[in-house]
Amino acid sequence: MDYANNVAWPSRRGEAARRARIERRLSPSSFLSAPLRSLNYDSTAAWAWNNYRATVLGIAEACRDRAGNSVRMLEVGGGRAPMFTPAEAAAAGLAVSVNDIDERELSLGPPEFGKALFDIAAEVSPSWHGGFDLIASHMVMEHVRDARKAWSNMAALLAPSGVAIAFHPTLYAPPFLINALLPDRLTAPLLRLFFPARHDGVQPKFPAWYDMCVSDLAKVEPMLKACGFRETLIVPFWGHDYFRSLPGLREIDDAVQGIAEARDWRALSSYAFSLARR
């Protein structure tokens, strides 16, 4: 999803204060935050959508061994549409395997990539353990029923010092709170009204649970440490595009999101990058 416009945050008037907030958000891990710093992370959802792939590539480069070998990357939930094409992966020195719970989804993906058919939140064969330097997912973790099991599996799948990164929506942003509370039979038609491409033939809507999909590091870090990660970073973003066709509500929501960013109200963030280093 590409955003046509950045939200004009009220905090732009106080650039020094805004930069201080950004520094606090990135300070928990200099290693994990380095790619975001180089890309000028600015806390907006537009930045997240436009820079996630570049962030993953930055993390991949940080994970590359001194011999310059390919980075073994697993994309969780990549299915039919992984984030990189085979040509892009080759150019970046990535040896990509794509994971999905659905065999049909995997069959629709690029044949050049490895295929890993398993549920990241269930039992995973030990034969996969330690086989990856980088694990990434894009709008997947909200569909995972048991986040603790998923992150525990990712820690096991990673080689020592490997990194997992997930881009996911967060509660309690209004669109995702509505999606969490209402049944799919009501939310699916609404989603397709605002985003016509979201249908089974192109980009299906899957059930969402939002387990641990929050941007408050204090809430998430203990779980990640218990799963086997030694270094963590949760990077919040504010703003979304779901109310773009609803004048009035759109402007009110934009104003609330701007205030939330300025006051670092994580409960009202819309998205996050969750990063963890084994």
Looking at 5-19, 33-47, 225-239, which range is the least confident one?
5-19
Q: Which CATH class is domain 12-277?
A: alpha beta
Residue 216 in this model has a pLDDT that exceeds 50? yes
Residue 104 in this model has a pLDDT that exceeds 80? yes
Please report the pLDDT score of residue 192 as a whole number: 55
Give the highest mean pLDDT range of 60-69, 157-166, 205-214, 243-252: 157-166
Mean pLDDT across 217-243: 95
Mean pLDDT across 24-30: 97
Please report the pLDDT score of residue 177 as a whole number: 85
Residue 47 in this model has a pLDDT that exceeds 70? yes
Please report the pLDDT score of residue 132 as a whole number: 97
Please report the pLDDT score of residue 190 as a whole number: 54
Quick one: residue 69, left, alpha or beta (phi over 0 = left, psi -120 to 50 = alpha)? beta
**Residue-wise over 158-174: b if at least 16 C-beta within 10 A, else e?**
beeebbbbbbbbbbebb
Do 142 and 168 contact (CB within 8 A), yes or no?
yes
Do 136 and 162 contact (CB within 8 A), yes or no?
no
Q: Select the more confidently predicted residue: 202 or 274.
A: 274
Parse the chain into domains and list their residue ranges: 12-277
Q: How far is CA 40 from CA 35, 117, 173, 235, in A?
A: 9, 36, 24, 13
Residue 68 pLDDT grade (very low, low, confident, very high; cuts 50, 70, 90): confident
Mean pLDDT across 135-144: 96
Q: What is the pTM of this model?
A: 0.87
